[in-house]
Each structure stands twice: as structure tokens, then as C-alpha cells.
Amino acid sequence: MNDGKYVDIVEVIFLVSMLGGFFLLLLILTLFFPKVVEVENRIATPGKQLDGIRNVWGNGPIGRWMRVVHVFFFFVFRNLPRVGHRIESRMGDESEALPRGLKFWVILPVSVFFASIVVSVLAAWFLGVLD
């Protein structure tokens, strides 16, 4: 393949990842958000960080995104060795085990969104957009 073919392929990857990420962001903030709220209600105990985040950021688009990201990072950070338990206890508590399907409503879309952002940035770097 010549360089022109690589550029064409990377342009398509860039476009698909940008549009896919934007569409996924809209889905997370609208259709998936009630499931995120259900998860948040189960893990945000009074006086903990997730409860405060809910009250501070509210229910606007930016507030919804901040709440989604904090719930996502609750599940990510609690798996860190040594410090995960402290972070989990500071953010909230999962007193009863959440069903795996309910966790996936938060973890899967946000992970795919972040992956699409990384792919978009790498494609933009290859195309020289970031120069």
C-alpha cells in the first residue's frame, strides 16, 4: 500500500471514531442515563462522594456526564491494588452486590466512548491535525 491508501484508511477511522463517540455520548446522556441513576442510587450512600456529586452537579447535560464518569470511575478505581478499597469507601459503598448486567450499563458505554476518543486522537496525530 502506498501512503495515500494509509491516509484514506486513517481518515475513515478518524471519522467513524469521532461520529461514533459523539453518538455514544448522546446515548449515554439520554437513553442510558436512567440505568446509571439506578446504579448510582444503589452505591451512593449518604455523606459519601457520589452522593455529593449528585447534589452538586444536578441533572443538566454536563452534570449528567460528571455523574456518569464518577460512577464509572467508582467501578474502575475500586479494583486498584492497595488504594482501591480506600477510594471505594470514600466514593460510596456497594453494600449489596449489583447484578453484572446493571454494571455493564455504566462500564461498557463509557469504556467504548473513551476508546473512541483515544482512537480519534491517534488518528488525528497520524493525519497531522495536531501539529
pLDDT tens-digit map of 59-98: 999 999 999 999 999 999 888 888 888 888 899 888 778 8
pLDDT confidence of residue 92: 87
Q: Which residues contact 95 (CB under 8 A, 6 or more apart)?
A: 45
> Residue 49 and residue 66: Cα distance in Å, rounded?
12
pLDDT given at position 80: 87
Residue 77 domain boundaries: 2-127
Whole-number pLDDT of residue 1: 54
Give the number of other CB atoms < 10 A from CB of residue 20: 16
Q: What percent of the chain has pLDDT over 90?
A: 63
pLDDT per residue as tens digits for the range 115-124: 999 999 999 9
The amino acid that residue 17 corresponds to is: S
56: left (phi over 0), alpha (psi -120 to 50) or beta: alpha
Q: How many domains does the chain have?
A: 1
Quickly list DSSP for 61-98: HHHHHHHHHHHHHHHHHTTSTTTHHHHHHHH----SPP
pTM of the predicted model as reported, rounded to 2 decimal places: 0.89
Task: Give the Cα separation of 81 and 104 in Å (integer).
Answer: 22
User: What pLDDT is stored for residue 89 in this prediction?
Assistant: 85
Sorting pLDDT into bands at 50, 70 and 90, what band is 3?
A: confident
Cα of 47 vs its chain's centroid, Å: 24
